[in-house]
Amino acid sequence: MQNNITLDKLKKGERAIIHSFRSNELPAKFYELGFTPGTTIQLKHIAPLQGPICVNIIQQDSLIAIRKKEANLILITKI
Amino acid sequence: MKRKTIALLGNPNVGKTSLFNRLTKLNQKVGNYPGVTVDKRIGTLKANAKEYRIIDLPGTYTLFPNSLDEEVVFNILSNQANDDFPDLTVVVTEPSSINRGVVLYQQIRELGLPAIFVINMVDEIEQKGLHIDYTALENYLQTKVFKTNARSGDGIDQLIQNFDIELKPYFGAVDLPQKYRNALEDAKQLFPLATEYLTWQYLAQDNISSLPLEKRSALQTIRESHRLDTQELQKDESISRHDTIASDLMSIVAKKENKRLSTTGKIDNLLIHPVLGYIIFFGLLFIIFQAIYSWAGPLMDSIDTLFAFLADSTAAALPEGPLSALVVNGVIAGIGGIVIFLPQIAILFLFISIMEETGYMSRVVFLMDRWLKPFGLNGKSVIPLMSGAACAIPAVMSARNIENPKERLLTILVTPFMTCSARLPIYIVIIGLVIPDDTFWGFNLQGITLFGMYILGILGALLSALVLNKIIKSIRKSFLIFELPTYKAPDWKNVLNTVWEKSSGFLIGAGKIILAISIILWVLGNFGPNDRFSNPQPYIAEANPEFSQDEIDNEITAYKTEYSYLGYLGRGIEPMIRPLGYDWKVGIGLLASFAAREVFVGTMAVVYSLGEEVDIEDEGQRQTLFERMKGEVNRNTGKPTYNFATGISLLLFYAFAMQCMATIGVVKRETGSWKWTLIQTGFMTGLAYLVALVAYQLLK
Ligand SMILES: Nc1nc2c(ncn2[C@@H]2O[C@H](COP(=O)(O)OP(=O)(O)OP(=O)(O)O)[C@@H](O)[C@H]2O)c(=O)[nH]1
Ligand SMILES: [Mg+2]
> What gap in Å lies between CA A26 and CA B224, rounded to an integer?
21
Third-level CATH fold of B4-161: Rossmann fold (3.40.50)
Residue B434 gets which letter from DSSP? H
B484: left (phi over 0), alpha (psi -120 to 50) or beta: beta
- Per-residue pLDDT of B662-677, as tens digits, reads 788 888 877 878 888 9
Question: Which backbone phi and psi does B597 adopt, to 5 degrees?
Answer: -60, -35
What is the H or E stretch that residue B338 is in? helix B333-339
DSSP string over B157-172: HHHHHTTTPPPPPP--
Checking if the pLDDT of B358 tops 50, the result is: yes
Q: Which pLDDT tens digit goes with each residue over B71-130? A: 889 988 988 888 889 999 999 999 988 989 999 999 999 988 999 999 999 998 888 888
Q: Which of A45-49, B288-292, B370-374, B615-619 has the lowest mean pLDDT?
A: B615-619
Residues in CB range of B493: below 8 A, 6 or more apart: none
Which residue from B629, B682, B627 is spatially nearest to B657, judged by alpha carbons?
B682
User: Long-range contacts: B669-675, Cβ < 8 Å, 24+?
Assistant: B670/B396, B670/B397, B670/B399, B670/B400, B670/B412, B671/B409, B671/B412
Residue B351, C-beta contacts closer than 8 angstroms, at least 6 positions apart: B288, B291
Q: What is the mean pLDDT of chain B?
A: 84
Which residue would you say has higher pLDDT here, B593 or B692?
B692
Distance of CA B562 to the CA centre of its chain: 40
- The pLDDT of residue B453 is 92
Handedness of CA B325, B328, B329, B330 (dihedral sign): positive
pLDDT at B210: 80
| Residue spans of alpha helices (H) in B472-618 | 492-526, 531-534, 537-543, 549-562, 565-577, 584-593, 600-609
* Domain parsing of chain A, residue ranges: 1-47
Which tens digits make up the pLDDT trace of B235-246? 888 888 888 888
> How many CB atoms are located within 10 Å of the residue B43 CB?
17
> Do strands A74-78 and A4-6 pair parallel, antiparallel, or not at all (unpaired)?
antiparallel
Pocket of ligand 1 (CB under 6 A): B 10, 12-18, 30-32, 34-37, 58-59, 120-121, 123-124, 149-151, 357, 488, 491, 494
Whole-number Å distance between alpha carbons of B359 and B13: 10
- What is the per-residue pLDDT for B271? 92
Smallest CA–CA distance, residue B580 to chain A, in Å, is 43
Q: Do A33 and B481 touch (CB under 8 A)?
A: yes
Q: How many angstroms separate the CA of residue B95 from the nearest CA in chain A?
A: 10
Partner-chain contact A59 B231, CB within 8 Å = no
Cα separation, B156 vs B141, in Å, equals 21
Task: Measure B94 CA to nearest chain A CA, in Å.
Answer: 11
- pLDDT confidence bin for B621, thresholds 50/70/90: very low
pLDDT at B694 over 80: yes
The pairing of strands B41-47 and B50-56 is antiparallel
Q: Distance between CA B395 and CA B387 in Å, rounded?
A: 5
For A:11-30, CB contacts with B below 8 A are 24-30
Residue type, B442: G
CA angle B280, B282, B284 (to 5 degrees): 65
pLDDT value at B30 more than 60? no
ipTM, two decimals, is 0.93
Q: For position B612, what pLDDT does the model report? A: 53
| Residues contacting residue B18 through CB under 8 Å, at least 6 positions apart | B30, B120, B150, B151, B491, B494
Whether the predicted pLDDT of B467 surpasses 80: yes
CB atoms within 10 A of CB B517: 22
Contact B62 A32 (CB under 8 A): yes
Query: Closest Cα to atom 13, ligand 1: which residue?
Result: B15
DSSP assignment string, B262-320: HHHHHHHHHHT-TTHHHHHHHHHHHHHHHHHHHTHHHHHHHHHHHHHHHHHHHHHHSPS
Q: Are B146 and B155 in contact (CB under 8 A)?
A: yes
Give residue-wise pLDDT tens across range B578-591. 898 888 888 888 88
What is the C-alpha separation between B406 and A7, in angstroms, rounded? Answer: 27
Amino acid at B120: N
**C-alpha span between B681 and B687 (Å, rounded):** 10
pLDDT score of A29: 83
DSSP state of B389: T
Cross-chain residue pair A28–B64, CB shorter than 8 Å? yes
* pTM score of the predicted model: 0.81
Task: Tell me what pLDDT residue B338 has.
Answer: 72
Select from B258, B486, B260 the least CA-distant residue to B362: B486
pLDDT at B456: 93
- pLDDT band per the 50, 70, 90 thresholds, residue B464: very high
Look at residue B381 in the predicted model and tell me its pLDDT: 92
Identity (one letter) of the amino acid at B479? F
The per-residue pLDDT for B679 is 92
